[in-house]
Amino acid sequence: MAEHAVVVAGGGPTGLMLAGELALAGIDVAIVERRASQELVGSRSGGLHSRTIEVLDQRGIADRFLSEGMVAQVAAFAGTPLDISDFPTRHPYGLGQWQNHIERILAGWVHELEVPIYREREVTGFGQDETGVDVELSDGKSLRAEYLVGCDGGRSLVRRTAGIEFPGWDPTTSFLIAEVELAEEPEWGIRRDALGIHSFGRLEYEIRDGEVVYVDRGPVRVMVTEQHLGPTSEATLRDLSEALVAVWGTDYGVHSPISISRFTDMARQAAAYRERRVLLAGDAAHVHNPVGGQGLNTGVQDAVNLGWKLAQVVNQTSPDSLLDTYHAERHPVAVRVLRNTLAQVALFRQDDRTKALRDTISELLSMDEPRTRFAAMISGLDIHYDLGEGHPLLGRRMPDLDLVTANGPLRVFTLLHDARPVLLNLGEPWDLDISPWAHRVSAIGADYPGAWELPVLGQVAAPAAVLIRPDGYVAWVGDGTDSGLRDALTTWFGPP
């Protein structure tokens, strides 16, 4: 039986990101993935929001995605665009990029970190005891791990086997999304009618002056709302043809499907993100309608929150109880995502009363303050972990400031490339004695002469020092003394 410190079930974006985070911390991690390669057939997520780009920038790999994707304003609420170009971030935009490319790039990073992937195999069961988890694979073999993380999607076997409840809202409507060939020219773009929202667009596109421009060749991506809630079985070409005829009166000679899939407005969330030595992340922990493009982004950020905590527990620098903060911090984030996707789906209904409400919401979102609040929520830039009372930075993302140091200019995110915590002293030199944590926490002295500005909150008072967690969130803010610093160091990075 092969042994690893952590086994990750599922090699999608969340599983790949988590494996990379653990590998950076020197953890023996392996992925179990049912696919023979990272190839992904069909349409999935269409891009990255600002905070996810920041997270990738914190690890020094954002340029890999930016060099292939298309920068654009992608945040929206129920069809109303939300411009974030004036937000205080180095990445005041989103990135148009299909999930197959996102996965390919992440897989390349994970390969560089020498993470083994058990391909063409699935987790079929497991049993856990006081010291670890025995993980059963579909090829009849087993793995032994200290911890198992289910990143195996909305129908997660890991979640079900762990006995974790998955409460939420049942589906009321369904949609087909497909990549196909058409014999006839369709009505390009988005159509709204009594059934719902439908669209035709080319798979290949460019973004010019912030607008999507489809090229005149290749397969077509179609999305159509079904007349009635579809079955849970796999969608077929006949299902797609009938749905197209119901909307347009023709199926445009649809043929040669590359992929056809069905999604709904179901919204569910795991009651717990942890059951002893088993944890959940990504779609295994929360599912919802893809409106707003928040699913993949939330999963990747789950992984970044969990990775360093799990690494410290495996390395025995922090107690097992640190893992409880993963649920405490990430569960409320997904609650908000489910709530706003439910609201957006409701606003897409086509009756006159809902249309009036949608128009009213759109008018409100054209005003600066509502636009800022909703855009920060959708883009992930307003996430605030409850770390107690104190400076507005506490529990929020650390801005990527251009620092001045004795060795020259330095970006904050550069300090996070190795996924290590950082104590940043920005005031007058004083004795911040962190020698018991010196091998765990990097201490940097620097100046920052500019203004401190956060999304939604605006300008905040400049701190004298900040303790930054590996996920980029601020764990302690200094006021010129070391009050509370030892407690914060112990809480997040283990006892001295």
**52 three-state secondary structure:** helix
pLDDT in tens, 422-450: 999 997 776 778 999 999 999 999 999 99
pLDDT in tens, 149-163: 999 999 999 999 999
Residue 223 is predicted with a pLDDT of 92
Residues 193-221 as b/e (b if ≥16 CB within 10 A, e otherwise) read eebbbbbbbbbebeeeeeeeebeeeebbb
358-364 average pLDDT score? 96
Residue 406: pLDDT band by 50, 70, 90 thresholds?
Answer: confident
pLDDT at 273 over 70: yes
Residue 181 is predicted with a pLDDT of 93
pLDDT at 210 over 80: no
pTM of the predicted structure, to 2 decimals:
0.94
Residue 194 is predicted with a pLDDT of 85
pLDDT in tens, 308-331: 999 999 999 999 999 999 999 999
Residue 41 is predicted with a pLDDT of 67
Residue 427 is predicted with a pLDDT of 78
pLDDT at 212 over 70: no
276 and 199 in contact (C-beta within 8 Å)?
no
How do strand 47-48 and strand 70-72 relate by DSSP bridges?
unpaired
Residue 43 is predicted with a pLDDT of 60
Which runs of consecutive H residues, i.e. helices, occur in 198-323?
Answer: 237-248, 295-314
pLDDT at 237 over 70: yes
